[in-house]
Structure formats: C-alpha cells, structure tokens
C-alpha cells in the first residue's frame, strides 16, 4: 500500500533489503496461480458486461502485497500472468462467480518507473481505476485531477516506529520526538513526505529530529542500536524487523500517523475526473462488487495471499514478499481495523470532514512546495460516495 506521496520510489525495497541484511532472501514457497475469488461472499451473480470495459484495468502503486488483497480477491481461476509487464489478468469474479468481464491488475513502483499512479493514469488512458491517496489527489488537483469512488482502506498503515527497549516510556510519536531530542536521535523518513511536514507544523515533532535520508534499508536503524526512529508501514516493518532482519530480530513499537490527526484515505480507487460521467454506468455496478471483495478478503485472505506471493515470485524484480509477511499484513489489517465500515456503517465511504481536514493541512504544504492545488477546491472535487452500496458492511 504505497502511493508515492507517502512512500518514495525506494521505500518498498525496505522489505527486500531487510531480508538481504538478514541473509535469508526468500520469495515464499507458494506456487498458487489463481484466486477463487470471494469464497465467503454472500453476493449473488453480477453481470458487468455491456456497462464496463471488457477488461477493467486497475493501476496499483506498488508490487503485489496484502494491502492490495481486495483486488486479488477478484481475480478468477487460471489468470494470465505477464511477468515482463508485471500484470495479472483474469475473470473478474465476486463470490467465485464470473461477472462477464476481466480484471487486469498492474503493479506500480518499479513497473511504471516510480511514477505516481496519477501520472500513470494520465499517461495511459487504458487504465480504468487507480490507487490515489487523498493527499496525492489534492496535490495534483490543478493539472491532473482524479476523483475517488471507493475508499477500500479506511485508515492508512503509515507509521513511525521505535525501539521499546531503548525508549520504554515512549507511547506515541510526540513522546518519541521529545525522547529523541533529549537523546540526540532522529526519525529517518523519505524526504518530501507531506505527513512529515504536517507532524512538524503541528508541533508533534521538532525539526531537530527529522532526517529525510531514509533509503528503504534497515541498515541505519540497526546501526543506531535503537537510538533512532524510522518511518514504515504497520502491515510490514514490525514483522520484518522482528523476524527477518537478522541483525535486529526483536520487536519494534509504532504509532499510526493517522492517529496524530493526518486522516488521508490511502490508495482510494479513483478515476480521472473527466471520465467519471462516462464510467458512471459501470461504477454503479462495479463498486459494490469491489466493496464485497474488500469484506471477503478481510474475512478470508488465504487464497488471495497465495496469489500475491506467487506473483511476487513470478515477477522476480527484487521485491521480496513471503507468506509470513502476507499473513502478518492481513492480520494487521483486521486487528488495527485499517479496513472497516465508514462513519455511516458501510464499506468504502469517505467523510467530507476528513477530506476537508486534508485540504486544510496540505494545501499550504503543497503550495509552499510549488504545486498548488486547484483554487477553491472542496471535498466534492476529490471524492464521491455515489456508487457505493450501503448494504455491503462488516
């Protein structure tokens, strides 16, 4: 789950680098080649043919991972894998039943030259939907506008982590900042991250502890022997550092950036704004299918995770993601309620108050950085709940 607004080009390599440092690079043992779809779904047969493209193309922001499980839940049996292009194409299914169209899931990150999903959507108009986080949508709203139509993840797994043995009294990011300031430590992160500008501007972290030199490798964190903090994702690094970084092999603690008051919707399924009207007949039928897949994956992630691990092996591009990480991520998604019902009790809805808060926080940050959002932008410019079914819930 890695949009380039929250994870720079090399960020996802952290897992691969961690395993390499541990001396135990492994691609996972599963050879599964397909997902049977939403096996636990209560959804009936849905026919998307005639209203949706023959192949619904979805552009993700990174290599296959459990954070994208809801998409792989929709891939039917015996899909076609293009290892060169890093894509998988199969029948789009819900409840194990074909919908009359296909789905193609395209990897992001290295597969698209580390462009943002927004840039890729405007470069390649064959893309139907793409992963666009709220802050990325705001940042590009003036020149490359997108509109979110389904927030499959309610809370971002972006976090800041630390060594609880070194800082036993630290309970959150703010107290970590105070401890690091006193001890001479830093928090390493990818330079340019909007959430870090927020944490500094809100007085949660002092500028003196911010170090934008993070490169995705665990080496500096390990070498510091617990003195420093680091950015990461709650669905990956806590498992990787405890189990796969041989020079660390102990727990880390973390706080989600969301819990500090930075309420983006990560990886929201989005369309090019100008295409919403033409896609509306499709979205009315497709988005409830995606909602159901989201629920089904969280309830039973095993089959989709097997496909994800298999695809990582077949793509073979240096990204390391084994069964242990996938299983951990699926558990974290559930335990931390990263995927959950929205304010009004159904999956995928977005809250205008949250979106407005992102606008208020990030507009001055992006404007100062030379990429001013659309003048007079409102939450309605960035998202709509119009295509969601209120009957799809946990």
Run of H or E residues at 54? none
Calpha distance 138→302 (Å, rounded):
35
Q: With cut-offs at 50, 70 and 90, classify the pLDDT of residue 193.
A: very high
Give the 3-state secondary structure percentages of the chain, helix then strand then coil, rounded to 5. Answer: 35, 15, 45
Say what the pLDDT of residue 384 is: 98
- Does residue 304 register a pLDDT over 70? yes
Say what the pLDDT of residue 104 is: 98
| Closest to 324 in 3D by CA, of 29, 70, 7, 23 | 29
Tens of pLDDT along 66-89? 999 999 999 999 999 999 999 999
Calpha distance 356→345 (Å, rounded):
20
Mean pLDDT for 248-257 is 98
Q: With cut-offs at 50, 70 and 90, classify the pLDDT of residue 391.
A: very high
Calpha distance 292→43 (Å, rounded):
7
The two structure tokens encoding residue 326: 């996938």
Mean pLDDT for 35-55 is 70
Mean pLDDT for 297-313 is 98
Say what the pLDDT of residue 63 is: 97
Calpha distance 20→222 (Å, rounded):
13
| Closest to 240 in 3D by CA, of 260, 220, 217, 259 | 217
Which is more confident, 28 or 357? 357
- Does residue 36 register a pLDDT over 50? no
- Does residue 271 register a pLDDT over 50? yes
DSSP 273-342: GGGHHHHHHHHHHHHHHHHHHHHHHHH--HHHHHHHHHHHHHH-SS----HHHHHHHHHHHHHTTSS-B-
Q: With cut-offs at 50, 70 and 90, classify the pLDDT of residue 44.
A: low
Residues 6+ apart with CB under 8 A from 294: 70, 73, 152, 339, 347, 348
Say what the pLDDT of residue 28 is: 33
Calpha distance 88→60 (Å, rounded):
12
User: How many Cα atoms sit within 13 Å of 161 on the Cβ side?
Assistant: 24
- Does residue 264 register a pLDDT over 50? yes
Tens of pLDDT along 332-376? 999 999 999 999 999 999 999 999 999 999 999 999 999 999 999
Strands of 146-150's sheet, edge to edge? 80-82, 87-94, 97-106, 55-59, 129-132, 268-272, 146-150
Say what the pLDDT of residue 45 is: 81
Calpha distance 64→1 (Å, rounded):
9
Q: Nearest-5° angle of CA 113, CA 117, CA 122?
A: 95
Instruction: Delineate the domains of the chain, giving CATH numbers in brackets.
Output: 13-154+264-382 (3.40.190.10), 158-260 (3.40.190)
- Does residue 5 register a pLDDT over 90? no
The two structure tokens encoding residue 189: 């992160």
Q: With cut-offs at 50, 70 and 90, classify the pLDDT of residue 302.
A: very high
Tens of pLDDT along 13-27? 344 444 434 333 333
Average pLDDT value for the chain: 91
Mean pLDDT for 387-393 is 97
Calpha distance 261→199 (Å, rounded):
9
Residue 226's region, left for phi above 0, alpha for psi from -120 to 50, else beta, is left
Say what the pLDDT of residue 194 is: 95
- Does residue 219 register a pLDDT over 80? yes
Say what the pLDDT of residue 31 is: 33
């Amino acid at each position: 789950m890695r949009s380039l607004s929250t994870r720079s080009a090399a960020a996802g390599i952290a897992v691969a680098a961690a395993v390499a440092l541990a001396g135990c690079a492994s691609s996972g043992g599963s050879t599964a080649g397909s997902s049977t779809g939403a096996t636990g779904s209560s959804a009936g047969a849905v026919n998307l043919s005639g209203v949706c493209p023959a192949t619904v193309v979805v552009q993700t922001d990174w290599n296959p991972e459990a954070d994208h499980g809801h998409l792989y839940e929709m891939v039917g049996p015996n899909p076609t894998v293009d290892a060169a292009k890093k894509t998988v194409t199969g029948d789009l299914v819900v409840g194990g039943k074909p919908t009359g169209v296909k789905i193609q899931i395209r990897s992001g990150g290295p597969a698209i030259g580390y462009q943002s999903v927004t840039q890729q959507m405007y470069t390649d108009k064959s893309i139907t939907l793409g992963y666009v986080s709220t802050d990325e949508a705001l940042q590009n709203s003036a020149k490359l506008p997108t509109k979110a139509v389904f927030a499959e993840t309610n809370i971002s797994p972006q976090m800041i982590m630390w060594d609880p043995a070194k800082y036993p009294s630290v309970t959150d990011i703010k107290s970590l900042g105070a401890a690091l300031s006193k001890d001479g430590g830093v928090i390493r992160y990818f330079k340019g991250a909007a959430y870090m500008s927020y944490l500094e501007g809100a007085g949660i972290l002092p500028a003196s502890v911010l170090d934008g030199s993070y490169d995705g490798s665990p080496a500096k964190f390990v070498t510091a022997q617990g003195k420093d903090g680091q950015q990461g994702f709650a669905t990956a690094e806590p498992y990787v550092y405890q189990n796969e970084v041989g020079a660390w092999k102990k727990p880390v603690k973390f706080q989600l950036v969301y819990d500090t008051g930075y309420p983006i919707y990560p990886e929201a399924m989005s369309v090019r704004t100008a295409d919403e009207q033409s896609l509306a007949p499709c979205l009315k039928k497709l988005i409830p299918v995606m909602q159901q897949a989201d629920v089904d994956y969280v309830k039973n992630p095993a089959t989709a995770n097997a496909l994800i691990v298999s695809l990582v092996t077949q793509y073979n591009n240096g990204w390391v993601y084994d069964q242990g990480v996938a299983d951990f991520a699926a558990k974290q998604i559930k335990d931390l309620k990263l995927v959950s019902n929205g304010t009004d009790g159904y999956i995928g809805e977005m809250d205008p108050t949250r979106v407005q808060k992102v606008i208020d926080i990030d507009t001055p940050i992006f404007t100062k950085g030379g990429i001013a959002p659309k003048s007079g932008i409102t939450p309605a410019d960035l998202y709509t709940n119009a295509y969601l079914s209120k009957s799809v819930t946990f």
